[in-house]
Structure 1
Amino acid sequence: MASPSFREISLNGLWKNNPALVQLLGLCPLLGTSNSTVNALGLALASAIVLICSNTAVSLVRGVVNTAVRLPAFVMIIAALTTCIELLMQAYTYELYQILGIFIPLITTNCVILGRADAFAAKNDPLRAAYDGLVMGLGFGVVLVLIGALRELFGTGVLFANMQLLFGPMAAGWQVTVFPGYPGFLLAILPPGAFIVLGLLIAGKNRIDQALVERARAKQPDAPVQSRRVRVTGVIE
């Protein structure tokens, strides 16, 4: 089987096979931590780093791991990398780590990461595996941050609040008040708001795909009609 091209990997990760909008994987962290931009961005970066590193490691050891222990070995690799990320967050972004809570250790069981390790990294070279991890992590992260930004905007009327939790004191002034005097919309930052925003994003993607298909059909010239004789139950048509 020929290896997929980098263009194909990019299109799959960012649009055609986006893990959040198409595969609907990793919904637990996607919906549970996306009530603000900083929370969503923190988890997106952590997940992307683990995804890139785990894909690369799995691809490097794919030829020496026995089939019977393939999945346990992959889980051990992902768990080790997740522990490293967890320790780094405890050291440098402790307040954000406390806010994200159990969702950081749960990266180990994220279906996006384990799925890409088994379905792609275990069958391709390290360069393609690392790139697939980058693109899939970017596709997942963009959706996660977009949901977080929309929920924060409609829930509180501001964007980029508390960014210092991730980027330090220099980001303390990054907050943008989009709707001054906004009374707030509680539903947007509650769990049901995450389902509503995700559903709207999925509907929007499906509508764009449909429009692209219709546009492609409109650009194609009409196929020439060829007369032909077909015999059906003895009748010539």
Structure 2
Amino acid sequence: MGDLWKIFKKGVVMENPIFVLALSLCPSLAVTSTVKNALTMGLTVMFVITANNISVSFTRKWVNPKVRVPVYITSIATIVTVVELLLQAYAPMLFKALGIYLDLVVVFAIILARAEVFASKNKVIPSMLDGLGMGVGFTIAMLIIGVIREFFGMGSIMGIQILGTWYKPILMMILPPGAFMLIGYLVALFKIHNEKMAKRQAEGGNA
């Protein structure tokens, strides 16, 4: 059970897809101007990466290594299509807001990387937890960025006005350059945190 927890936990902090691995930065710049868009994209990626890891792990013994990448991409594309159809049917405004970035989920590096590095070499349960952990880490990162950008860029969270009319929004925060600078600071904070955690573990091991 401890090993399974470690597989899940690593994707949330120590190997966070955005703040540590710096993968799939395109959506973190483009769709995090509001919390709602950031959360929707995060949950979409979490579902896709978890479902794809399960699919890849389940079929790993029958897939010829020479054609594994096309198989992985086909699996991801199928899952993304299902998500797109569901959003188009039940949340058309969100579907429109996310636009082309939903289609780009198919080629997100983090999804293909977990299929290649982990799911293709491990059983279903560990692969599911690996995908879920990476998806949760991605969603948390998107939420953090979205909350900060919407709060300072619009004075609201989830469309609810938090700051009064006296507040002058920082327009830079809802533009891609603002997101780029914000992500840079957050990456630095995560790096400092992870280095401190690694140092504590090393000191604990030497004690």
On whether the aligned pair clears a TM of 0.5, the verdict is yes
Q: Secondary structure at the match of 2:169?
A: coil
The number of residue pairs the alignment matches comes to 206
Q: In the alignment, which residue of structure 1 is the partner of 2:23?
A: 25
Cα distance in 1 for partners of 2:151, 2:93 equals 22
Larger radius of gyration: 1
Q: In the alignment, which residue of structure 2 is the partner of 1:208?
A: 193
Question: Deviation at 1:178?
Answer: 3.6
Q: CA contact under 8 A between 1:158 and 1:179: conserved in structure 2?
A: no
Question: Deviation at 1:211?
Answer: 3.3
**Residues 98/211 of structure 1: CA separation in 2 closer, same or farther (3 Å cut):** same
Query: Normalising by structure 1, what TM-score?
Result: 0.82
RMSD: 1.9
Q: CA contact under 8 A between 2:56 and 2:120: conserved in structure 1?
A: yes
Question: Deviation at 1:220?
Answer: 7.9
Question: Deviation at 1:11?
Answer: 3.0
- In proportion to residue count, which structure has more helix? 2
Cα distance in 1 for partners of 2:199, 2:61 equals 44
Question: Deviation at 1:206?
Answer: 1.6
- Which range moved further: 67-76 or 177-186? 177-186
- Correspondence 1:195 to 2:180: yes
Identity in percent: 35
Cα distance in 2 for partners of 1:115, 1:212 equals 25
Question: Deviation at 1:30?
Answer: 1.6
Q: In the alignment, which residue of structure 2 is the partner of 1:231?
A: none
Cα distance in 2 for partners of 1:214, 1:19 equals 22
Q: Which has the higher contact order (CA 8 A, sep 6+)?
A: 2
Query: Normalising by structure 2, what TM-score?
Result: 0.93
5+ residue gaps, structure 1, are 162-174, 223-237
For residues 27-176 of structure 1, the aligned pairs below 5 Å read 27-161=25-159, 175-176=160-161
Moved over 6 A (4+): 217-222
Q: CA contact under 8 A between 1:156 and 1:182: conserved in structure 2?
A: no
**Residues 159/73 of structure 1: CA separation in 2 closer, same or farther (3 Å cut):** same
Cα distance in 1 for partners of 2:74, 2:55 equals 11
Q: Secondary structure at the match of 1:182?
A: coil
Cα distance in 2 for partners of 1:58, 1:133 equals 11
